[in-house]
Structure 1
Amino acid sequence: MTPINNYTQEELTKELQKAKEEYASYQRQNLNLNLTRGKPSPSQLDLSNDLLKEMDGYLLEDGTDARNYGILDGIPECKRLFAQLLGLKEEALIIGGNSSLNLMFDTLSSLCLFGTGGEKPWIYYFLNGTPVKFLCPVPGYDRHFTCCEELGIEMIPVPLLDDGPDMEQVKKLVKADPLIKGIWCVPLHSNPSGVCYSDEVVSMLASMETAAPDFRIFWDNAYGVHHVYEEVSLKNIFEECQVAGYPERVYYFFSTSKITFPGAGVALVASGPSNIAELKKHMSAQTIGHDKVNQLRHVKYFKTPENIRLHMGELAKQLRPKFDLVETWLDRELRGTGLADWTSPKGGYFVSVNTLPHCARRTVQLAKEAGVVLTKAGATYPYGKDEADSNIRIAPSYPNLDELETAMKIFTLCVKIAGMENILETKYNH
């Protein structure tokens, strides 16, 4: 397809009619394809099936029985494995249950209820009509936004650039407003755009001046070892915060949800010593300990960080053809048309597509009516409000290649239809 701006009204009308005829042919097929969430495929899950057999013992290295109560913050073997994998200190870790999102919400809730570092609980500001605020790099992860919305935390979107959040804007905002208490960060292969934070951005986040003494970075390193094409390094945020004099600034989250089994993996939170002491105090009121048997199972199965990396390499082999296919169809159908642009991530689970302004919702609607379900337009922005109505997240991991190819044919067709409709309406009818 030639650049959209080169078409006359008559040519564009004919092209739209042709696209709608093709679209109708897909509607008649009664398809049911889903690209909404970054779920591992059954074949990816199969790579970890031996984990289910990995329980020929239940004693820890010090003789403790993993089947019984105790060890609130996780077994030492599991702490050691993930500390080595991620470049963290064992004493900085709490090993939780299966969900890092659970740990994020609990951590956020504890800050609202109890505060941190001797500062007022954040609910104090809410009850006084001045709720605390979080910076949200956009496009971003919808469940982060849900956590804030559920707890009454006001969200301020900031642009996510090619190397991380727009730090000039971030620094200006956090320096001026003591009610800005935190920022969400997915520093590697971010959801949905695949952005990886540069060393400079990590250093600035660690060292920037904030008006709020209890400002916290929620560092969701969900894709910290999830490289698909090439490994990308990430500067150690803890070391940077230590050097800058803010050892308690970061809460670091990670899980094996997209390494072994979502819903049956291991999650962790890491932070400075005071933060960890606070979290353990609050955690002790709700549990005596998480699933130590599962923690031990993961340790016995992987044994070393290198084995985890090798396992991730096998997962990457399964994901790579799917990302290649998405790129192929976007390139074939939309490159040079002026109707869309998109990211080409090096890892993670998503591709971010930007349509023409005011076309994302229409694209998603068209796709649904042709049997392809996409993430709701606007979901990658706080409150579901993408002012440009242009961003769409594609999650290619779950469908097989044939299903994904059909879905991408339909998706790119819907982008074209929505874009051409918009141009005909705005350029020629007004």
Structure 2
Amino acid sequence: MNDTKKPNTSLQELKDQYEAARGKHLKLNMSRGKPSPGQLDLSNELLGPLDSFLTEDGTDARNYGILDGIPECRTLFADLLGLDRDRMIIGGNSSLSLMFDTVAALCLFGTGGNRPWQHYKYAGTPVKFLCPSPGYDRHFRICEELGIEMIPVPLSSEGPDMDLVTDLVRQDPLIKGMWCVPLHSNPEGVCYSDRVVEQLASMETAARDFRIFWDNAYGIHHIYEEVTLMNILDACEKHGHPERAYYFFSTSKITFPGAGVALIASGPDNIRELKGHMSAQIISYDKLNQLRHVKYFKTPDNIRAHMARLADELRPKFDLVLSKLEAELRGTGLASWSHPKGGYFISLNTLPGCAKRTVELAREAGVVLTDAGATYPYGRDENDSNIRIAPSYPSLGELDAAMDIFILCIKIAALETNKK
């Protein structure tokens, strides 16, 4: 923060305010980045009847077939994101499911003729993933579930600490993967610079089967400012590593989280491998839902216009959170926070040793936040300082009340810690 100022209110006065707030028996939830009912309502027309069940190539979408997704759906998202539709698979509603299945396939079968990753686990030397942190807890959960060791990597305003990343991947052949949320990252709001993308695409790696898991979840979720992201697949191909990255995207926070479409794109060999594994698992994903999305949006420009309306829904909530933090905490030295240009989250850092206590106090007063530490591998935030704020779901009135309690809890936790 800039100039520092001492909080004027005593710990006892703050606790009196806290007890009054707790006595209201509120139930306010800012734990996940859920779209609000107002955001979901913007896509209701998607649920209307289809005028035809036939795809552009004449396939009846109600029946079996087309494992990699209907051509017009692949074309729509390829044009939106600058991808190759022939190096893409359209899945179900969850990109997280595609991520899990991809990592699991590499554990079971390997890639490019290299050993399956589970071989190393059974030999007592499990493979490792680099995890830019603070990061997305569900990425870390995949690694834990599959027995992959995680190595935290600090984030800067441009992306991961690339000096550290390049040193690690060059030296250690057991580092097989890296998670990246490259645009409006969860929770920091970091946008990877062209320099970082180029380094990720070109760096020397000890593992021949090193893979980047490029979760571009917020690639078109601009709230305050549109940010352009270099295409990782093009960069990898340019630098002679066409199979290095898997690119993920979904409409979970664009249309309906439980009924959207997701995609994975990659190099031709990776897509061929994945389709081979998927053919043993599924005959086709929900082509009717793919067709609905195509008929509803029709063009990338219509998707962008829809995203502008979603930004209008989200912006007042981000404004409220940031203005409350500014008014109550700026200059106190008790907290610092991100100022994202888009995405779904605001990342806040308390004084060291205060995050868990802040979250605990908030929960007891009826405000549920993501667990402190969840944004780090194994839930271990060594400083016990990072808290993810998810403003999207509550109404403005609920968010206003929740932020008052949250800020009160930050102050109490800080003063309690200073007394010890």
Q: TM-score, normalised by structure 1?
A: 0.96
CA contact under 8 A between 2:5 and 2:331: conserved in structure 1? no
Equivalent pairs, count = 419
Distance (Å, rounded) in 1 between the aligned partners of 2:164 and 2:13: 45
Deviations 1:257-279 (A, max 9, x none): 00000010000000000000000
1:299 correspondence with 2:302: no
SS of 1:219's equivalent in the other structure is strand
Deviations 1:84-130 (A, max 9, x none): 00000111100011100000000000000000001000000000000
SS of 1:159's equivalent in the other structure is strand
1:321 correspondence with 2:313: no
1:111 correspondence with 2:112: no
CA contact under 8 A between 1:330 and 1:412: conserved in structure 2? yes
How far did residue 289 of structure 1 move? 0.4
Larger mean Cα displacement after TM superposition, 50-59 or 184-193: 50-59
Residue in 1 that maps onto 2:75:
80
Residue in 2 that maps onto 1:94:
89
How far did residue 299 of structure 1 move? 0.2
Aligned partner letter, 2:23: R
1:378 correspondence with 2:373: yes
Residue in 2 that maps onto 1:250:
245
SS of 1:301's equivalent in the other structure is helix
How far did residue 15 of structure 1 move? 1.4
Residue in 2 that maps onto 1:368:
363
Residues 1:381 and 1:159: Cα distance change in structure 2 (over 3 Å):
same
Distance (Å, rounded) in 1 between the aligned partners of 2:4 and 2:369: 24
For residues 257-336 of structure 1, what are the structure 2 equivalents within 5 Å?
Answer: 257-336=252-331
Aligned partner letter, 2:92: G
Distance (Å, rounded) in 1 between the aligned partners of 2:150 and 2:116: 18
Residue in 2 that maps onto 1:428:
none
Give ranges in structure 1 of 5+ residues lacking alignment. 426-430
SS of 1:131's equivalent in the other structure is coil
Deviations 1:26-64 (A, max 9, x none): 011001100000000001000000000051110011211
Distance (Å, rounded) in 2 between the aligned partners of 1:15 and 1:192: 32
SS of 1:300's equivalent in the other structure is helix
1:24 correspondence with 2:5: no
CA contact under 8 A between 2:6 and 2:332: conserved in structure 1? no
Distance (Å, rounded) in 1 between the aligned partners of 2:102 and 2:58: 31
Aligned partner letter, 1:233: T
Distance (Å, rounded) in 1 between the aligned partners of 2:85 and 2:26: 49
Question: Which among 214, 226, 232 is matched to residue 231 of structure 1?
Answer: 226
How far did residue 3 of structure 1 move? 7.2
Displaced runs of 4 or more, over 3 A: 2-7
Give ranges in structure 2 of 5+ residues lacking alignment. none
Distance (Å, rounded) in 1 between the aligned partners of 2:407 and 2:268: 50
Question: Which among 331, 352, 361 is matched to residue 357 of structure 1?
Answer: 352
CA contact under 8 A between 2:214 and 2:248: conserved in structure 1? yes
Question: Which among 191, 200, 210 is matched to residue 196 of structure 1?
Answer: 191
1:347 correspondence with 2:342: yes
Aligned partner letter, 2:37: P
Q: TM-score, normalised by structure 2?
A: 0.98
Deviations 1:222-266 (A, max 9, x none): 000000111100011111111110000000000000000001000
Residue in 2 that maps onto 1:121:
116
Deviations 1:141-187 (A, max 9, x none): 00000000000000000001111000000001000100000100000
Deviations 1:61-97 (A, max 9, x none): 1211010000000000000000000000111100011
Residue in 2 that maps onto 1:394:
389
Question: Which among 407, 417, 420 is matched to residue 422 of structure 1?
Answer: 417
CA contact under 8 A between 1:34 and 1:372: conserved in structure 2? yes
CA contact under 8 A between 1:238 and 1:247: conserved in structure 2? yes
Distance (Å, rounded) in 2 between the aligned partners of 1:249 and 1:183: 10
Identity over the aligned pairs, expressed in percent? 70
How far did residue 301 of structure 1 move? 0.3
Residue in 1 that maps onto 2:150:
155
1:206 correspondence with 2:201: yes
How far did residue 414 of structure 1 move? 0.5
CA contact under 8 A between 1:54 and 1:300: conserved in structure 2? no
| Root mean square deviation of aligned Cα | 1.2
Aligned partner letter, 1:207: S
